[in-house]
Every structure is written in C-alpha cells, then in structure tokens.
Amino acid sequence: MVSGKYVDLSELFSVNLYQKDPEPQLLLYGRLVLTSQPKKQCHRIDKIATWCKGFAIYSTVLVLHFPHCWNNLTQNKLLILRTYSHHSSRVWLAYDQPFHKHATATRLTDWSAMNVQLFNFHGLALLFAPRP
C-alpha cells in the first residue's frame, strides 16, 4: 500500500493474514502434480461495517507514511458512506474496488470526489441489473 500497489481491504484483516500460508504441493520428477485447494478468506467485505474496518486499517497505515493524505481519505470514506445511505443495494461496494484499482494505477492523490465514469459503469450497472 505504501509502495503504491493495489491492496484489497479484506486482506488487511488479521484473520485473513494467517490464511496466506504456502499451500502443500506434490511434485513428481520436479513437476507439479497436485496442489491443495486455495484457502478461502475468513472475512470478506460484504457489509459497510467490514468495509469501514478495512478502510480504517488502510487509512491508518497510509497516513502514518503520508500525513497529508488524511483529508482525502476521510472524504473518500464519507463519499462511500453517503453512497451506502442513498442506495439500498451494494452500489457502494461495486464502485469502491474499481475506484481503488483505478486510483492505484493512475497514482491518483485526490480521492475526495466521485469518479462518475466508474460509478456509472460499476455502480449503476448493479442498480439496473435484472433481479434473479
């Protein structure tokens, strides 16, 4: 995160950090024959409370290294919370991950404003998707 790489917020939960153990493998004549199933994450971000927890961890680490980022990160958190309160579905979640990937890829420093293109593509697509 400090190096400018994308970080999935759910990977910051301590219980998920322990899930990253190397997987057992079976090698035959130096070739991979069998691997075990990848471990599933214990905590995923699927509710606003878990997102807030992950974003708080993310923000704390980032602000320790870049104190001037505090305002933008706080504005981004408020933007996600407003989006959550205005829409009954998971529009906030559909928007947040693509936004963070985009912000990392473009080295975006101002996270305080909604990226309308990403919101329209990811968020509104979820709103208007046919229900099963």
pTM over 0.85: no
Which tokens is 59 given?
């923000």
- Binned at pLDDT 50, 70 and 90, residue 72 comes out as very high
pLDDT digits (tens, 9 = 90+) for 80-90: 999 999 886 78
**Cα→Cα distances 103→23, 29, 99, 115, Å:** 32, 44, 6, 10
User: How far apart (Å, rounded) are the C-alpha atoms in residues 104 and 76?
Assistant: 14
- Binned at pLDDT 50, 70 and 90, residue 7 comes out as confident
Alpha helices (runs of H) in the chain, residue ranges in sequence order: 14-17, 48-65, 70-86, 91-106, 116-118, 124-127
User: How far apart (Å, rounded) are the C-alpha atoms in residues 13 and 30?
Assistant: 35
**Is pLDDT above 60 for 16?**
no
In this prediction, residue 90 carries a pLDDT of 86
In this prediction, residue 49 carries a pLDDT of 92
